[in-house]
Amino acid sequence: MNTLQRSRLLDTLQLVLEAHPQGLNEHALIKALGDVGVIEVTTQTFSDTMTLFRTHFLVYNALYELKDELIRKAHWILEISAVNIKLHPYEFGHQLLSQKDPMRDYYLDLSALQETTEEELDDMLRNFWKKIDIEEEKQVTRGLSSRALKCLDLEEPITFAEIKKQYRKLAMQHHPDRGGDATKIQEINEAMEVLKAAFR
């Protein structure tokens, strides 16, 4: 990509983002850039792993360049995340100005694009999806835990000792042998099992 093409890409990136104040995800941004012809987007772009990686890398390289340029001009602050790419009006002291972005150096180093092999890319993707799976599992556990705490009339922050104490109290109170409800005691027991697993 020559200097003129590069300049056109940066200008178009800014225009596309200004036209979408709510932000865009990467897929929508790549399509928008392809629609105006500043990058080549074909059916292979999204189906071939290496082609997608190269396109992704070049777009993110341009995004980080644009981010630095906009901050220098004190015009916009560009938020770059995996799920949303968005412009914020420049404001002195904005939290995004002080946040260190660990991916910036990676994407501004074009040798990373040239030197990445298909095997390394496959490893990166496997690790990425592994992290996503772990994060989703954590979110599910957090969701189950908060429902389980609610079932025991508890809320965070809390210790496991406090949970056990409340569980015993409710188990005694709702035990069928003491005239309690069998459905309620089952809910209490299930909640306790969820919390045991979460605190393990």
Split at pLDDT 50, 70, 90, the class of 157 is: confident
Cβ neighbours around 100 below 10 Å, total: 5
* Residue range 7-48, pLDDT digits in tens: 899 999 999 999 999 999 999 999 999 999 999 999 888 888
Average pLDDT over residues 80-88: 90
Are residues 34 and 64 in contact, defined by beta-carbon separation less than 8 angstroms? no
Per-residue pLDDT band for 132 (boundaries 50, 70, 90) equals low
> What pairs with residue 24 in β-bridges?
85
At residue 141, does pLDDT exceed 70?
A: no
CATH number, domain 128-199: 1.10.287.110
Using one digit for the tens of pLDDT, what is the confidence trace for 34-83? 999 999 999 888 888 889 899 999 999 999 999 999 999 998 999 998 78
